Amino acid sequence: MGLVSRGAAEAGLGAASAVDRPGPPDAVPNPTPTPPAEGADPGSSRPSMVLKAFFPTCCASADSGLLVGRWVPEQSSAVVLAVVHFPFIPIQVKELLAQVQQASQVGVTVLGTWCHRRQEPEESLGHFLEGLGAIFSHKPWFQLCRERGSKSWSCKATHWQGPASPAASGEDQVMLIFYDQRKVLLSQLHPPTALPNRQAGDTTASAGGLAAVFDTVARSEALFQSDRFDEGPVRLSHWQSEGMEASILVELAKWAAGPVCLFLACLLSLISAASACRVFKLWPLSFIWSKLSTCEQLRHRLEQLTLIFSTQKAESPAQLMRKANMLVSVLLDVALGLMLLSWLHRKDLIGQLADALIPVADHVAEELQHLLQWLMGAPAGLKMNRALDQVLGRFFLYHIHLWISYIHLMSPFIERILWHVGLSACLGLTVALSILSDIIALLTFHIYCFYVYGARLYCLKIHGLSSLWRLFRGKKWNVLRQRVDSCSYDLDQLFIGTLLFTILVFLLPTTALYYLVFTLLRLLVVAVQGLIHLLVDLINSLPLYSLGLRLCRPYRLAAGVKFRVLEHETGRPLRLLMQINPLPYSRVVHTYRLPTCGCHPKHSWGSLCRKLFFGELIYPWRQRGNKQD
Amino acid sequence: MEDEQSFSDICGGRLALQRRFYSPSCLEFSLSCPRITLRSLTAVTCTVWLAAYGLFTLCENSMILSAAIFITLLGLLGYLHFVKIDHETLLIIDSLGIQMTSSYASGKESTTFIEMGQVNDVVINEAIYMQKVIYYLCILLKDPVEPHGISQVVPLFQSAKPRLDCLIEVYRSCQDILAHQKATSTSLEGGDRIISASNRRSHSGMGAYWHRQEDKR
């Protein structure tokens, strides 16, 4: 096998009919080539197969040579990865392919010949290419040909049928599918979401032929390492053959990432060790920490930062995306927080806020007092029980009086506290919003207390009423068997029970009204806090990096592919262009959304209504480590 | 080779079916929907502006009129870009797959490609749609767990909604290609795959697509 001269190859490919190609290299070719029928063989019962050849668009203008790629027998498709140009030494080509195969675990072989001709073909070239077919035996053997300067392509795929029918040679139709190698290499296929009643393992079974193409191109990076300026023995043509693609910024970032990550990881581990020390586990502090949403948010951010700056590399593309999303989310958060801080300081809003806070708290307390006076009178025309009304009203009024005194006591320190709290906005907008939510919770603490008092009273009344109602009917609740049983009461028990039942029934409207009013107030405050938490969750969980990638580089996130039929002439093979179909935005958000604190209301509307009716306390969100009340 | 025929949809509007025959293994059908008419556009615009003028006489705020203009413009743009489909295309490539493209009036295209390995069959199904019983063409997808089962039903030409005569044309050509593809794959694998007969039959599928209609069993 000597050096193959370039000149003979440049002469062009003969549009010869397919010849019976022998398997072993030293066999004599058939002297009288029988022209086989195009397509179906009269002798064989096999209908004509359509083979698919995936051809990279960057090689469409390359010089003649050998096609190198992978043959996927299950889909009868050949994925062409590169073109080896003349002159070459077959031994060196085989060595290179073996190296690539070992490095990438992809079965890269020589698939056929590629001819980019300029003038009329010569007959000798047909035999020359047969010889090539004999050196690199592959079944089927592709012969692609293109006329320079025009769009007419031709391709043939020949089979060697075997010693049983040496005269017949199967020739199959070939469909050419062009693909952009760089985009297919960089993109990541997202198969459609599996139906809920499937296990995760079954989805891989339906990963079809196109996933194999993407996989082949992605894993063959070792083949694309050499460009045309290398002085290697073999000259390849692929998407990077004009020069390796790299970016200075990316390289610098990679080089700097190592020490920076190490330093930040140490710092973060110090902070987490300090926050986990024993002082914070004591009872009053741990209770307060668990109630404040600020601490929850800070803990969440600390976890995220630890994950981003951890020194281990991300194993899968999904992990890499998650890290990138977290980093962008943290950066955006801090940027928004700094903007908020500058806006607050520019207009001296903190001073104005501190000045306005006390009058607002006073105003709220006054409104509450008016409300209670209204309840103590004849609210909405209803007639209340005078004595109970006065007792409850006076009790709540005294409570409000205490609260106002407390606020007035705190008033000198408010501005200083608010200023320090405003500084915390530089940790991020989410922290500032959490602090706002906590401040609202603290300022409306008296409403929370009133709600608890009203709910407990109402709950007691409801339980008493239900138990006495059972007594009225002659039944009893059996605690052992958890059911209602009949029971014979004494006369005095019945008398007292009925009396108490009557009293409770007539006091019910008053208690129910107080409970209703304070529950509505509490729900209002909960709704405001819920909105703030929703905003914080949104900032926490939105995958901004993925959305940005989908906007700027849509081929990176692929939902699938789409085909376009290129100009077609009869007699020529069918040519298709395969393009990447990007993932829709809704699926990007759904696939890549970051996990949040998980502070979502756990009950449905039905159970909420039930709890409200029976006077059980509702906790809108449970934080981690909360004790059940 | 191109071919154009005129059909009608279930409401009586005119549809044009364009068939392009690239090769025995590749076929494309393009169904163009009735266009947006000047009459309906004028009617909607007049209604919105009359309502805005009525509000203006009540509130004496001229912002309402400018808001109405904005709403009309944005609404029209949104309708053309997200709702109004100009034509729907079905491309079948033997041994590769089936591709459905919807082109919107603003030029946006949304494409779905289903690989041939996932396609069980293409059938015409009957459904109850509002007060009518209509026919629609759909692709049945294979169940990865059960080889002869059906996991999903994907309806085709949902915006155009052609009548049965148009569907039969498309159906016949699809079945030719599918039969050829199944014959090839059966001979390749020599396996136990059932070669489907090209008769019309109705399937009960699982897909909860398309206005939640019932499939007749």
**DSSP result, A498-520:** HHHHHHHHHHHHHHHHHHHHHHH
Which residues, in sequence order, are CB contacts of B4 under 8 Å at separation 6+?
B16, B17, B18, B19
Alpha-carbon gap, residue B82 to B74, rounded angstroms: 12
Output B78 or A306, whichever has higher pLDDT.
Answer: B78
Residues of chain A above pLDDT 90, percent: 20
Q: Which residues 6+ apart lie within 8 Å of A326 measured at CB?
A: A304, A307, A308, A594
DSSP A66: E
Minimum distance, in Å, between the CA of residue A43 and any CA atom of chain B:
15
Location of structure tokens 């009950």: A603
Confirm if B198 and B179 have CB atoms less than 8 A apart.
yes
Mean pLDDT over all residues of chain A?
Answer: 80
Of A50, A210, A563, the CB nearest to B94: A50
Cα–Cα nearest to A149, from A61, A209, A66, A215: A61
Q: pTM to 2 decimals?
A: 0.79
* CB contact burial B136-172 (16+ within 10 A = b; e otherwise): bbbbbbbbbeeeeebbbbbbbbbebbbebebbebbbe
Per DSSP, helices labelled H in A105-221 are 123-135, 181-186, 209-219
CB contact under 8 A, B91 and A581: no
Q: Is A314 on the interface with B (CB under 8 A)?
A: no
| pLDDT per position as a tens digit, A164-179 | 444 445 567 888 999 9
- For residue A458, give the nearest of A508, A406, A390, A392 by alpha carbon: A508
The answer to whether the Cβ–Cβ distance between B28 and A565 falls below 8 Å is yes
The partner residues of A565 in beta bridges, in order of sequence, read: A576
CA distance B139 to B121: 6
pLDDT grade, residue A198 (50/70/90)? very low
What ipTM describes this predicted complex?
A: 0.80
CA distance A220 to A445: 64
Beta-carbon separation of A198 and B23 below 8 A: no
Neighbours of A57 (CB within 10 A): 15
Give the model's pLDDT for residue A334: 92
In whole angstroms, give the CA distance from residue B90 to residue B111: 10
Residues of A with Cβ-Cβ distance to B82 under 8 angstroms: none
Using the Cβ of A577 and the Cβ atoms of chain B, whether some distance falls under 8 Å is answered with no
* Tokens of residue A591, six digits: 């696939």
CB contact under 8 A, A52 and B151: no
pLDDT at residue A623 above 50?
no
Instruction: With a cut of 90, say whether residue A146 has pLDDT above it.
Output: no
Chain segment A200-230, per-residue pLDDT in tens: 444 444 456 788 888 888 888 888 887 777 7
Q: What is the rounded distance in angstroms from the CA atom of residue A141 to the CA atom of residue A109?
A: 11
Residue A403 and residue A365 in contact, taking contact as beta carbons nearer than 8 Å: yes
Mutation site, A153, A562, A568, interface B, largest B CB count within 10 A? A562
Rg (CA), chain A: 39
Confidence of residue A8 (pLDDT cuts 50, 70, 90): very low
Say what the pLDDT of residue B84 is: 93
Q: If contacts are CB pairs under 8 Å, which of residues 139-178 in chain A contact chain B?
A: 173, 175, 177
Q: What share of chain A is helix, strand, coil (3-state, %, to 5)?
A: 55, 15, 30
CB A322 within 8 A of CB A593: no
Q: Is the pLDDT of residue B212 over 50?
A: no
Distance of CA A419 to the CA centre of its chain: 38
pLDDT digit string, tens, across residues A517-529:
899 999 999 999 9
Chain B environment of A576 (Cβ under 8 Å): 93, 96
* Reported confidence tier of residue B18, pLDDT bands at 50, 70, 90: very high
pLDDT digits (tens, 9 = 90+) for A246-288: 889 989 988 888 888 889 889 988 888 888 777 667 777 777 7
**How far out from the chain centre does Cα A379 lie?**
54
Tell me which residue in B94, B115, B183 faces A208 most closely, judged by beta carbons: B115
Asked if the Cβ–Cβ distance from A195 to B151 is below 8 Å, we say yes
- Helices A293-308 and A429-443: crossing angle in degrees, nearest 10, is 160
Chain B residues whose CB is inside 8 A of the A198 CB are 144-145
Q: How far apart are CA A219 and CA A242, in angstroms?
A: 20
Q: Does B22 sit within 8 Å of A50, measured CB to CB?
A: no
Q: What is the mean pLDDT of chain B?
A: 84
Q: Quote the CA–CA distance of B119 and B140 in Å, as a whole number.
A: 6
* Listed residue (A273, A330, A334) closest to A301, CA to CA: A330
Whether residues B113 and A52 touch (CB distance < 8 A) is answered with no
Better pLDDT: A540 or A289: A540
Place B24 in a pLDDT band, splitting at 50, 70 and 90. confident
Helix (H) or strand (E) holding B124: strand B119-129
**Could you give the CA distance from residue A521 to residue A455 in angstroms, rounded to a whole number?**
13
pLDDT at A51 over 60: yes
**What's the pLDDT at B199?**
39
d(CA A57, CA A411): 73
A562: closest chain B residue by CA: B113
Q: What are phi and psi of B137, to 5 degrees?
A: -90, 135
> What's the half-sphere exposure (Cβ side, CA atoms, 13 Å) at A311?
12
- Cβ-contact A218, A185 below 8 angstroms: yes
Interface of A with B in 181-200 (CB under 8 A): 195, 198
Provide the pairing of β-strand A153-158 with A141-147: antiparallel
